[in-house]
Amino acid sequence: MKKEELSDAMSYIEDELLEETNNVRSHPRGSALHARRYGKIVRFAAIAAAAALVVGIGYGTVSGVLNKSSQKKEAETIDMQVASQNAFMNDAVLSVTSTAAGAGEGKKSTVPEITTSDSYIGAREGDNGNGDSYGEADELKAYEWVGKSITQTSCKADVTVFRNKENLYADGTWSLEMMKDDEWVEIYNCSFIDNTVFTNSDLNNISSTDTTTTFEQVFDWSGYGELASGTYRIFEMFYTFNGNNCENEYIPVEINFGITVD
Amino acid sequence: MEDEQIVQLYFDRNEAAISETKTKYEKYLMKIAYNILFNSEDAEESVNDTYLSAWNAIPPHRPEVLSTFLGKITRGHAIDIYRKQHADKRIPSEYCSSLDELEDCVSDSSSVEDNLEIKRLGEVINVFLKDQSEEARNLFIGRYYYSDSLKDVAAYYGMTEARAKMILFRTRQKLKTFLEDEGFTV
């Protein structure tokens, strides 16, 4: 099939669907929601920052870095600010701008470890026609490193599957993807993505009375060397659950996402 | 003027049908044509051809939704012009970009080569789109039918371009699988 043929076939899209899209085109929701969402995210960012500082949870060293700062050993500051916004509060894009002494001078800087312990509660009710449920989380975080290179050593994600039906079995994948300056980093061949397959036995280990289980996978990106300066957006856990009893099931997945930077 | 009244003018063979159509839909049609052709004069030619085609088609045809009826004609005319011109030079239009994105779904190695198959493909696409979320469906139609820019489609829902791009990517992947399941050689 040729792409032109696919395009031609779209002339058969039904009026009802075209009309629906026309309505959205004519009345884009962006401008109306922008302010409201932005407000939410500002609040979220403030809460997240406060939580990280006070509790120091996760793989957290934000507080550690701030201690360094307070000790004035290095002129490092973390300026947490809302860089952009996304559709939902849980998708808040938080920019962590690190300014370190020597930054931009070709000297390898000590980039503070940046910690997040945000949970993404995502669930989609989906059915791909084979009784499979699927879902995908959205953009998790964006980090901006200014004037320096970094080596990203690992990224860790905990996924909690809330089991809501007995005899659920599944094969699945999950993945973590990145964008740099709004360009996908090798998304198409997925070589940047570490996929983990949940085997049947993984899920079968959940007893019928259990409601949750946790899978953990460390994404080791050390082989990719130093990443150039820029804004990196960490995108979505893409997960699928294929198997029986998934049809039309609502499978909440909680993702605890952490990132560590050398 | 209401669409029904405009359509009635066509049925009455009243030339005011053209002017009323122009008043109400010229901007909408120009946007469709321009997205494909990236040239105002050519877009205008497509839109003028649309008025003539509508005049010839109505009657006997009575469009249920005048806007989409006209839009489909404009899109067809614009794509015809695009293909004639594109043989000589690359036209840097949104249509061209969106067409390239559709390469995710196809291999270009075989051809449907049959209008009936194209129609069936269209029907399958309808089934597929109806099964998608409203958001994914509208982004897809906006990008690949109306050839709106990524910025424009992102603005439909006030999302970032990156997010729109991601949703479109996922939808193309799902479409490819769906077409294969439906027996198409992609």
Number of domains in chain B: 2
Q: Is B176 in the same domain as B150?
A: yes
Hey, are the CB atoms on B156 and A86 less than 8 Å from each other?
no
**Set of chain B residues whose Cβ sits within 8 Å of the Cβ of A2:** 106, 108, 111-112
Domain end residue (candidates: B90, B120, B147) = B90
CATH number for the domain including B45? 1.10.1740.10
CATH number for the domain including B159? 1.10.10.10
Tell me the pLDDT tens digit for each residue of A204-223. Answer: 444 444 444 454 545 455 55
Amino acid at B61: H
- Which token pair is A205? 């280990």
Q: Is B66 in the same domain as B127?
A: no
Which pLDDT value is given to residue B53?
94
Which domain, by its residues, includes B76? 3-90
Q: Is B9 in the same domain as B86?
A: yes
Task: Pick B161's closest partner by Cβ from A1, A32, A182.
Answer: A182
Q: What is the mean pLDDT of chain A?
A: 43
**Interface predicted TM-score (ipTM):** 0.91
Hey, are the CB atoms on A184 and B76 less than 8 Å from each other?
no
Q: Which residue of A has its CA nearest to B185?
A: A1
Tell me the pLDDT tens digit for each residue of B153-181. Answer: 988 988 777 678 878 888 888 899 899 88
Please tell me if residue A190 touches chain B, with a CB cutoff of 8 Å: no
Please tell me if residue B57 touches chain A, with a CB cutoff of 8 Å: no
Q: Is residue B186 part of a domain?
A: no
Q: Which residue has the higher pLDDT, B43 or A56?
A: B43
Q: What are phi and psi of B164, to 5 degrees?
A: -60, -40
Q: Do A232 and A143 meet the contact criterion of CB atoms below 8 Å apart?
A: yes
Q: Is B37 in the same domain as B110?
A: no
Q: Is B130 in the same domain as B171?
A: yes
Q: Is B124 in the same domain as B147?
A: yes
Tell me the pLDDT tens digit for each residue of A144-172. Answer: 444 334 444 444 444 444 444 444 433 33
The average pLDDT across A55-62 equals 27
Split at pLDDT 50, 70, 90, the class of B22 is: very high
Helix/strand/coil for A81: strand
- Which token pair is A136? 């995908």
Hey, are the CB atoms on B162 and A31 less than 8 Å from each other?
no
